[in-house]
Amino acid sequence: MPCRGVRGATTVDDNSAEAILRETRRMLALLIHLNDIRPADVTSVIFSTTRDLTAEYPALAARQLGWLDAALMCGHEMDVPGGLARCVRVLINWNTDKELHDIQPVYLRGARNLRPDKAALPPVDNEDLDGWIQQQVDHWRDQRSAKKETRMKIVAFQGEHGAFSEQAARQHFGADVITLPCTAFEGIFAAIDAGEADFGVLPVENSLAGSINRAYDLLLEHDLRVWGEILVRVRHNLLAPAGTTLEQVHTVRSHPQALAQCERWLSQRGLKAVTWYDTAGSAKELAANPEPGVAAIASSLAAETYGLEVLASGIEDLAWNYTRFFVIGRGDPPITAKAKSSLVFSVTHEPGSLVACLNEFSSRGINLTKIESRPRRNRPWHYVFYLDFDGHWQDPACQQALVSLLARAAFVKLLGSYPAAEMPAANGEVGQSELLQI
C-alpha cells in the first residue's frame, strides 16, 4: 500500500490553547472525514505554525483525536513579510490506496487565501462535523483505555511552557509526559473534565506566602479528586540571551512573587525589578524580543525551552521556601500504605460545633496536618474548613471519624486520599527536584 500525503491549513483567533486546539481539531476532522484516514494508517504528521502561535498545541490536538502511535513533528515557520498571521499548517502522511487526484486538502478560515483553487470543500454540516470530531475523540478514549498502562499521560498545568509546574509534572509523571498549558487554574479543571488531559498539577500552598485561595475554591466547586501531592523547594534562576554577562544586566522581569522572593539579591546588585504575568512568560518574551541588559527570573526548564543562558542560580532570599502541589484527576487513586487525606466541611453556628467535629479525629488518634478556614462564597459570614489528616479514608479509624463528622457537620466533601509526599531536603540532595509553580 503506497504512502500518500495531504495538506491542510487554518487560522486561529488568538494564541491560546483553547483556540488553537479547537481550530486544529476542526481541520484534522475534515481531513479525516474527506480522505477516510484511519489513525492506524497514519505514519507521520508534520505541523508548522507562524511564530505568533505556540507550536506544540497542534500536535496535542492530533493526540486527542487518537493518533497515539504516529510520529508527530511540530515547529515554527520562518517569518515571511506580509505572510498570513496565526496560521497552523499540517502535512499528514498515511498508508492508503487512494489515487492522488482523489486526495482532498483542507484550507479553512483565513488560510483559504493560500490556495484559492482548493478553498471549495464538499458541503459538510457543522453538526455532522461535530459528530466526526466526537467520533475521533471516542476512538481516542477507547485507545486510551486499551493502552492505559503504556501510553504517555497528558497533564494540564497553569502557565507557559517552561513553567516550574511543567517541570513538576515531568518530575512526578516522568520525562515523557505530554503537558497541556492553561492560561488559568480554571483551564486545568476544564481540560480534565473535557477529557483533554488525564491529570492536572495544581499549586495549593506555599510555606511562606500561605494557601492559594483560588485553587482551594476550585477544588470545592469541581468533582475532581486529589491523586497525589508534590512538595518542592523554591529555586530561582536569572536567565538572559546568549552572550549576556551578569555585569551587563540592569533590569529583571518576572512574576511579582518571584521578584519578591529574590528582593534581597536584586537590591544588593542595584537591579530594577519589572513585574510580568508569569515566570516562564517573562523568559518566553525575552527570548522572542531580547533587549540589552534585560534578564528574567524563571526555571532552568524555561532556559532550556527558550534558549536562554543561566547567569545565576539559587538567587532566592530564603532557602526554606517550599510549594505544595496537588495532582488532580478523575476517580480515586490506588490505596497506598502511607496516605494522606484532604476534605472540606462546614459547621452550624452553635457553641462548640467546630471543636466537636475536630474531636472526632483526635479521639481516634488521627493526626491533623492542616486546617484552614475560607469564606463560603454563597453565604456571607459563613465559613468552610479545609482539613488534611494522616491516613486513608478507608482505614477503620478514619472511616469512623468521617461517619461521625457527617453527623455533626453541615456538609462534608472528601477531596481525596492519596500518597503522602516526602519532604525534600533544603540542599536538594534528597527528595524531589526543586520545582515551583507560581
d(CA 281, CA 261): 17
d(CA 208, CA 316): 12
Whose cell is 513533528? That residue is 73
d(CA 326, CA 386): 14
Which one of 189, 325, 326, 345 is the catalytic residue? Answer: 325
Give the pLDDT mean for 42-52. 89
- The conformation of residue 70, written as its DSSP 8-state character, comes to S
For helices 56-64 and 126-146, give the axis angle rounded to 10 degrees. 80
In this predicted structure, what is the pLDDT of residue 60?
81
Helix, strand or coil for residue 125? coil
Q: Which CATH architecture has domain 339-419?
A: 2-Layer Sandwich (3.30)
Domain 3-146 coded CATH 1.20.80.10 = no
- Convert the pLDDT of each residue in 261-271 to its tens digit: 999 999 999 99
- In the residue annotation, 389 being an active-site residue is answered as no
The pLDDT-based confidence of 137 (bands split at 50, 70, 90) is low
Taking residue 135's Cβ as centre, other Cβ atoms within 10 Å add up to: 15
- Convert the pLDDT of each residue in 277-305 to its tens digit: 999 999 999 999 999 999 999 999 999 99
- Tell me the one-letter amino acid at 326: F
**15 pLDDT exceeds 50?**
yes
Mean pLDDT over each residue of the chain, to the nearest integer: 86
**70 pLDDT exceeds 90?**
no
- In the residue annotation, 361 being an active-site residue is answered as no
d(CA 293, CA 240): 8
Helix (H) or strand (E) holding 340: strand 339-346
State how far Cα 318 lies from the chain centre: 27
The pLDDT-based confidence of 321 (bands split at 50, 70, 90) is confident
- Convert the pLDDT of each residue in 145-183 to its tens digit: 555 444 578 999 999 999 989 988 888 888 888 999 999
Looking at the domain 237-313, which fold is it?
D-Maltodextrin-Binding Protein; domain 2 (3.40.190)
Q: Which of 1-15, 127-141, 162-176 comes out lowest in average pLDDT?
A: 127-141
The pLDDT-based confidence of 39 (bands split at 50, 70, 90) is confident
Q: Is there a contact between 94 and 37 (Cβ–Cβ < 8 Å)? A: yes
In this predicted structure, what is the pLDDT of residue 222?
93
In this predicted structure, what is the pLDDT of residue 260?
93
- Convert the pLDDT of each residue in 409-438 to its tens digit: 999 999 999 999 987 765 544 333 333 333
User: CA separation (Å) from 8 to 34, 72, 118, 177?
Assistant: 12, 15, 10, 27
Which one of 47, 199, 323, 361 is the catalytic residue? Answer: 323
- Of all residues in the chain, what percent carry a pLDDT higher than 70? 88
Helix, strand or coil for residue 412? strand
Q: Is there a contact between 164 and 299 (Cβ–Cβ < 8 Å)? A: yes
State how far Cα 416 lies from the chain centre: 20
Q: Is there a contact between 189 and 14 (Cβ–Cβ < 8 Å)? A: no
In this predicted structure, what is the pLDDT of residue 200?
97
Taking residue 17's Cβ as centre, other Cβ atoms within 10 Å add up to: 20
Apex 354 CA angle, 352 and 360, nearest 5: 100
Residue extents of the structural domains in the chain: 3-146, 237-313, 339-419
Q: Is there a contact between 202 and 215 (Cβ–Cβ < 8 Å)? A: yes
